[in-house]
Each structure stands twice: as structure tokens, then as C-alpha cells.
């Protein structure tokens, strides 16, 4: 499941939709169902982390200040 | 004459406060007087015809303002409304239909310099007052932009940005816009409505003067390089084509086309499309739309969807095991249940058989009773008929017997000869054999004696 961690939000949420569609069809075997549920939970946690990352507080930065800081850091 | 008025103004300054010490320049003169003198001087310039592209057309109540530009420079122009209407009539005869259609056209204007000196409450301004105009053809500026668009298209630069993957939920967004203005507020408001509160990097840059294109280009390059920015918005409110020319800059457009970060442009409207709109990954009509395009999901709704999906997954996981466990339990109970079902079925059959037999017995009994009643009735009827017939037979026999009764014969006057022992003597020969006879009449018996013949 570690390879799931690198997925983007859109890929993860699309895969969750696919998983639920497959489970809703009732055609998955017990092993496949348990595997899909495990994968889905991992992806939902990833989506939740992505959502949490843009939900706390708006962080506003000025590009000129950011560039100046980076230049100072690289010079130092 | 203008020189005379300026000299007069210089004379009047004698009574006014002293000027800058050690300055060799004349004055100080009252600015209003100087402005009036300047207007006089400018109006004295020769009236001429100018050729250039008409841009930034702004009709006002009494006058119509615009600029005449070429690659080397520009001059602000103004025309009285009546003169402008007459010029439009001529332009329409030549094929240009509306005032807006003149924007960007190559025109020849006739007129002269003028200067509005302003007042204590109004601003001064220079303009070339136009009294006549002729449309000379499509503006070189628009033609140049069109050529550049085709060139960029031929190089495949209009498609590069559109092929870049765009994050549905970027953690960091860069915005290039003016530090003041409505576009900035619109972007912030739209992101707020999406429930997005990630990292926002503002790349402030002028968006409408000659410094704009290089500043925007630099801001875009820097944003793509720092701050983990996943999407960049270039935002500006609408404006005339002249205001938007900086977004048609070749260097800017080539830089955007080659950026590795998708750029969402919202610098104008559909009616005045810029080259940046063509090279950007997405072109939006307003900063609000650009912000909504940058964050492709409503974060609140997305959280609700994810919670619902998590619930459904849990339910599927639980049900997958539970359903199968139930099925197994059902299978393990199957033989016993089958036996039980068979027993129940047998009991049922037994009950049904008994009930059927009882019903049959009852039916037979009822049928027998009905038959007995019928037989009884028939027997009674037969008995009655039989009795009547017997009675009639007996009567007939009685009558027949009576008919043969000797008594009846005796009653008719006959007499029966019997021996003394009561034996009937039917013949004379028998009568001769006995001595004592008896004669029986109907009412009595008398003794008799045979006389010797």
C-alpha cells in the first residue's frame, strides 16, 4: 500500500469512486472486497490529509519577500 | 502672443512671494496663468493629419477620448460628440459598423493640439482635438498580434500548457495581479467560497503599463521556481485592448508556454482575447472563475464525500464478512433444518390426511343418512302400496272364498247330506251305505233316515 501514498488527490478520489462502484456491484470476492476496503481506507486517509492541508488557515506570502529570503538563505 | 502672456505673468509675479534662491529661472508664476499660456501656445501649433492605431476608446458625456498609437509612440486624442457622430457616419459608409469596431483600427485623424488648463477642482490634460477621421485599415497592432498567435501555434506553444496535469486540490497557488484592485479581492473571495485555505503566494506586478509584461514574466518565472506552487493565476479586471496589450507580449507568452506549472489566465473578456489567454492552460473571463478553476473541488463538499465514502467502505467490509458468515451458519444448519422441514411436512401431511378422512367420513355419513332417509321413504311407500294391495287381494280372495262358501249355497235353499259323524255324502251310493243321515240347512241340521228304496 506504500505506493498509494504518492498519489495525487484527484487520482486518489477517482480511485475511491471506482472502488465503491466495484463493491456496490456485489461481484467482488471476499478476498478482493477486503483488499479493496483496505486500499480505499488508505486513499481516503490520503485525501483527508490533502484536504486538511488546505483547510486550517490561509497562508499568504509575498513573492518578492519569498525570493529575497531564498536568496539570503542561498547566500548564507 | 503666448510669449507675451508668459512675460506678463512674470511681471505680475513681482508682487508675489520670492522664488527659489539662486535659481536662474524666471518666476514663480501662478500656475493657472502659466497653464493658460501653455494652452495658447499649443493651440498655435499647426493643425495636421496623423496616422496610427485607434485604441482605448472611451466615450464621455460631451467628448470621446481615445489614443492614437504606433510602435514609436502615442498621443491622447479627443473629439466632440457631434464631430465624432459625423465621423462614425462616414466610417459606416466605408464599412465600419460601430464605434467599438474602430478599436485597434488604423485611422487617419485631422486636428490640432489642445490643452485643458484644469481648475482648482478639475485635472488638466493634453489632447489632440480631432475634427475629422478616416479609417485606413486594420491596425498594425492587431495584425502583429495575429501573426504572433499563428507563429506560436505553428511552434506548438498554444498547446503545451493545456497538456500539463492540473492539481484538483493544490496546496499552494500563485497569483500574479496588481497589489491593489478588485481582482485580488475576487480571487480571495472565490477561494474562500471553495473552503480553500492553503498557501497563497502573491506575485504583485503592474498589469497595464509598459513595465507590465517584463514584471509579469518575472513574477511567473519566480512563482514557478519557488514556494511549491502547483497552479498560477494571472488575474486582471477587464479593460480596453490597449490596456491588455501587455498580455500579448511575445516574451511573456513564450515564457508561459514553457512553464512547467499550469497558468490560469483571467486578464480580459471574451470580446478582447489576449495571446496569454491562448497560451495559458485555462482561460477564464473573470478572476472569480480563475480561482474556481484553480481549486477544482469545494473543500467542504469534498470532506463530506470522503466521510460518506469511508462509511460505505466500512459497511462493505463489515457486510462482506457478516454475509458470508451467515451463509456458512445457514449451510451448517442445513441438514437439521432439512429434517425438521421434512418432519413438519410429514406432520402437515398427516394432519391433512386425517382431516381429509374425517371430511370423507362425514361426507359418507351424510350421504348414507340421506340415502337411508330416501330408502326409508321408499320402503314406507312400498309398504303402503303392498299393504293396500294385500288388503285388496284379501278382499278379493275373501269375496272369492265367500263365493265358494257352502253356507251361501245352503242359504239359497240347498241342503247338505252328511253322515252322523259329519262326513259329507256327495253321492247317492255313499248315502246308501250309511243308516243315519243328517240334513244340514242354512239355519239348522236335522236328522234323517234313509228309507228303503
Say whether pLDDT at B67 is over 80: yes
Partners of residue B202 in chain A, C-beta under 8 Å: 60-63
The interface predicted TM-score (ipTM) is 0.80
Q: Does B310 touch chain A (CB under 8 A)?
A: yes
Considering only the beta carbons, identify the residue of A34, A44, A62 that sits closest to B320. A34
Chosen for mutation from A18, A61, A65, A70 (greatest number of chain B CBs closer than 10 Å) is: A61
Phi and psi at residue B255, to the nearest 5°: -60, -45
Q: Does A39 touch chain B (CB under 8 A)?
A: no
Dump pLDDT digits (tens) for B160-195.
999 998 888 898 999 998 888 788 889 999 999 988
Considering only the beta carbons, identify the residue of B165, B169, B306 that sits closest to A44. B306
Distances (CA, A) of B378 to B300, B364, B391: 99, 20, 20
Helix (H) or strand (E) holding B398: helix B334-404
Tell if the CB–CB gap between B222 and A23 is shorter than 8 Å.
no
Q: Tell me, what's the pLDDT at B119?
A: 86
Q: Tell me, what's the pLDDT at B347?
A: 93
Could you say which DSSP state residue B14 is in?
G
Q: How confident is the model at residue B98 (pLDDT cuts 50, 70, 90)?
A: low
C-alpha cell at position B19 = 522664488
Q: Which is more confident, B6 or B275?
A: B275
**Number of Cβ atoms within 10 Å of the Cβ of B352:** 10
> By CA distance, what is B221's nearest residue in A?
A63
Q: Tell me, what's the pLDDT at B101?
A: 66
Dump pLDDT digits (tens) for B289-304.
999 999 988 888 888 8
User: What is the spatial distance between Cα B20 and Cα B18, in angstroms, rounded to a whole number?
Assistant: 7
**Residue A12 Cα, gap to closest chain B Cα (Å):** 11
Are the C-beta atoms of B226 and A66 separated by less than 8 Å? yes
Q: DSSP letters along B87-126, please? A: HHHHHHHTT--SSGGGTTEEEEEEEEEEEE---SSS--EE
Considering only the beta carbons, identify the residue of B203, B299, B320 that sits closest to A30. B320
Q: Residue holding cell 508556454? A: B257
Residue B94's SS3 state is coil
Angle subtended at Cα B212 by Cα B207 and Cα B218, rounded to the nearest 5 degrees: 110
Listed residue (B269, B270, B279) closest to B238, CA to CA: B269
Say whether pLDDT at A70 is over 70: yes
Q: Which is more confident, B307 or A1?
A: B307
Partners of residue B169 in chain A, C-beta under 8 Å: 9-10, 50-51, 54
Q: How confident is the model at residue B2 (pLDDT cuts 50, 70, 90)?
A: very low
Partners of residue A17 in chain B, C-beta under 8 Å: 309
Partners of residue B165 in chain A, C-beta under 8 Å: 8
User: What is the spatial distance between Cα B427 and Cα B417, in angstroms, rounded to a whole number?
Assistant: 9
Angle subtended at Cα B14 by Cα B12 and Cα B17, rounded to the nearest 5 degrees: 110
Q: Tell me, what's the pLDDT at B13?
A: 46
Q: How confident is the model at residue B139 (pLDDT cuts 50, 70, 90)?
A: low
- Dihedral sign from CA coordinates of B350, B355, B361, B363: negative
Q: Tell me, what's the pLDDT at A3?
A: 61
Considering only the beta carbons, identify the residue of B169, B222, B310 that sits closest to A63. B222
User: What is the spatial distance between Cα B10 and Cα B7, in angstroms, rounded to a whole number?
Assistant: 5
Tell if the CB–CB gap between B226 and A50 is shorter than 8 Å.
no
Q: Tell me, what's the pLDDT at B1?
A: 43
Considering only the beta carbons, identify the residue of A28, A57, A66 that sits closest to B201. A66
Say whether pLDDT at B270 is over 60: no
Are the C-beta atoms of B436 and B446 separated by less than 8 Å? no
Q: Tell me, what's the pLDDT at B451?
A: 77
C-alpha cell at position A66 = 519569498
Q: How confident is the model at residue B339 (pLDDT cuts 50, 70, 90)?
A: confident
Distances (CA, A) of B152 to B147, B164, B253: 9, 17, 9
Q: Does A60 touch chain B (CB under 8 A)?
A: yes
A55-59, B65-69, B331-335, B415-419: which is most confident: B65-69
Tell if the CB–CB gap between A9 and B167 is shorter than 8 Å.
yes
Q: How confident is the model at residue A4 (pLDDT cuts 50, 70, 90)?
A: low
Q: Does A41 touch chain B (CB under 8 A)?
A: yes
Could you say which DSSP state residue B451 is in?
P
Q: Which is more confident, B3 or B219?
A: B219
Partners of residue B196 in chain A, C-beta under 8 Å: 54, 58
Are the C-beta atoms of B64 and B249 separated by less than 8 Å? no
Q: Give me the mean pLDDT over the B143-158 stretch.
A: 85
Q: Residue holding cell 503545451? A: B160
Q: Tell me, what's the pLDDT at B257?
A: 92
Partners of residue B185 in chain A, C-beta under 8 Å: none
Q: What percent of chain B has pLDDT over 70?
A: 89
Q: Tell me, what's the pLDDT at B280?
A: 92
Q: Does B301 touch chain A (CB under 8 A)?
A: no
Average pLDDT of chain A to the nearest whole number: 84
Q: Tell me, what's the pLDDT at B348?
A: 93
Say whether pLDDT at B16 is over 80: no
Tell if the CB–CB gap between B200 and A61 is shorter than 8 Å.
yes
Say whether pLDDT at B449 is over 90: no
Angle subtended at Cα B441 by Cα B438 and Cα B447, rounded to the nearest 5 degrees: 25
Partners of residue B326 in chain A, C-beta under 8 Å: none
CA-only gyration radius of chain B, Å: 70
Say whether pLDDT at A43 is over 60: yes
Average pLDDT of chain B to the nearest whole number: 85
Say whether pLDDT at B50 is over 90: yes
Task: Tell me how far apart the 2 most distant CA atoms of chain A are, in Å.
Answer: 61
Partners of residue B222 in chain A, C-beta under 8 Å: 63, 67
- Dihedral sign from CA coordinates of B326, B331, B333, B339: positive
Are the C-beta atoms of B167 and B230 separated by less than 8 Å? yes
Q: What percent of chain B has pLDDT over 90?
A: 29
C-alpha cell at position B79 = 473629439
Cα B352 → chain centroid: 58
Q: How confident is the model at residue B364 (pLDDT cuts 50, 70, 90)?
A: very high
Partners of residue A66 in chain B, C-beta under 8 Å: 201, 226-227
Q: Does B229 touch chain A (CB under 8 A)?
A: no
Amino acid at each position: 500500500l506504500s505506493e498509494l501514498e504518492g498519489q495525487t488527490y484527484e487520482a486518489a478520489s477517482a480511485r475511491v469512486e471506482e472502488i465503491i462502484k466495484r463493491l456496490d456491484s456485489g461481484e467482488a470476492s471476499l478476498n478482493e472486497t477486503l483488499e479493496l476496503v483496505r486500499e480505499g481506507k488508505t486513499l481516503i486517509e490520503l485525501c483527508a490529509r490533502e484536504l486538511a492541508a488546505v483547510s486550517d488557515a490561509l497562508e499568504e506570502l509575498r513573492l518578492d519577500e519569498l525570493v529575497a529570503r531564498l536568496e539570503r538563505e542561498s547566500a548564507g | 502672443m503666448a510669449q507675451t502672456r508668459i512675460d506678463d505673468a512674470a511681471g505680475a509675479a513681482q508682487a508675489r512671494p520670492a522664488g527659489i534662491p539662486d535659481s536662474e529661472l524666471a518666476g514663480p508664476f501662478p500656475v493657472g496663468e502659466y497653464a493658460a499660456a501653455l494652452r495658447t501656445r499649443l493651440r498655435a501649433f499647426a493643425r495636421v493629419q496623423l496616422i496610427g492605431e485607434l485604441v482605448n476608446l472611451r466615450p464621455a458625456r460631451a467628448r470621446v477620448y481615445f489614443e492614437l498609437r504606433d510602435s514609436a509612440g502615442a498621443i491622447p486624442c479627443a473629439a466632440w460628440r457631434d464631430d465624432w457622430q459625423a465621423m462614425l457616419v462616414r466610417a459606416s459608409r466605408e464599412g465600419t459598423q460601430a464605434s467599438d469596431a474602430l478599436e485597434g483600427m488604423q485611422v487617419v485623424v485631422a486636428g490640432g493640439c489642445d490643452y485643458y488648463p484644469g481648475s482648482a477642482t478639475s485635472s488638466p490634460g493634453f489632447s489632440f482635438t480631432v475634427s475629422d477621421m478616416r479609417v485606413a485599415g486594420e491596425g498594425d497592432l492587431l495584425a502583429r498580434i495575429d501573426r504572433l498567435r499563428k507563429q506560436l501555434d505553428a511552434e506548438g506553444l498554444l498547446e503545451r500548457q493545456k497538456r500539463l496535469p492540473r492539481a484538483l486540490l493544490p496546496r499552494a497557488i500563485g497569483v500574479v495581479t496588481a497589489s491593489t484592485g478588485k481582482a485580488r479581492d475576487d480571487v480571495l473571495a472565490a477561494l474562500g467560497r471553495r473552503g480553500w485555505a492553503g498557501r497563497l503566494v502573491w506575485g504583485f506586478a503592474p498589469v497595464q503599463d509598459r513595465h507590465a509584461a517584463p514584471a509579469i514574466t518575472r513574477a511567473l518565472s519566480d512563482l514557478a521556481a519557488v514556494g511549491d506552487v502547483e497552479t498560477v493565476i494571472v488575474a486582471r479586471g477587464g479593460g480596453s485592448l490597449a490596456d491588455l496589450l501587455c498580455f500579448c507580449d511575445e516574451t511573456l507568452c513564450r515564457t508561459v508556454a514553457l512553464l512547467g506549472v499550469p497558468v490560469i489566465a483571467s486578464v480580459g473578456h471574451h470580446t478582447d482575447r489576449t495571446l496569454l489567454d491562448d497560451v495559458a492552460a485555462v482561460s477564464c473571463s473573470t478572476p472569480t472563475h480563475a480561482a474556481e478553476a484553480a481549486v477544482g473541488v469545494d473543500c467542504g463538499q469534498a470532506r463530506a464525500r470522503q466521510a460518506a465514502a469511508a462509511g460505505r467502505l466500512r459497511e462493505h467490509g463489515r457486510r462482506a464478512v457478516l454475509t458470508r458468515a451467515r451463509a456458512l451458519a445457514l449451510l451448517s444448519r442445513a441438514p437439521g433444518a432439512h429434517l425438521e422441514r421434512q418432519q413438519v411436512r410429514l406432520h402437515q401431511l398427516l394432519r391433512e390426511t386425517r382431516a381429509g378422512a374425517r371430511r370423507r367420513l362425514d361426507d359418507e355419513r351424510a350421504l348414507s343418512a340421506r340415502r337411508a332417509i330416501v330408502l326409508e321413504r321408499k320402503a314406507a311407500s312400498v309398504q303402503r302400496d303392498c299393504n293396500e294391495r294385500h288388503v285388496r287381494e284379501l278382499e278379493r280372495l275373501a269375496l272369492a272364498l265367500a263365493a265358494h262358501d257352502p253356507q251361501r249355497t245352503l242359504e239359497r235353499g240347498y241342503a247338505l247330506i252328511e253322515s252322523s259323524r259329519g262326513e259329507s255324502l256327495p253321492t247317492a251310493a255313499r248315502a246308501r251305505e250309511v243308516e243315519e243321515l243328517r240334513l244340514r240347512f242354512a239355519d239348522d241340521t236335522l236328522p234323517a233316515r234313509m228309507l228303503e228304496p
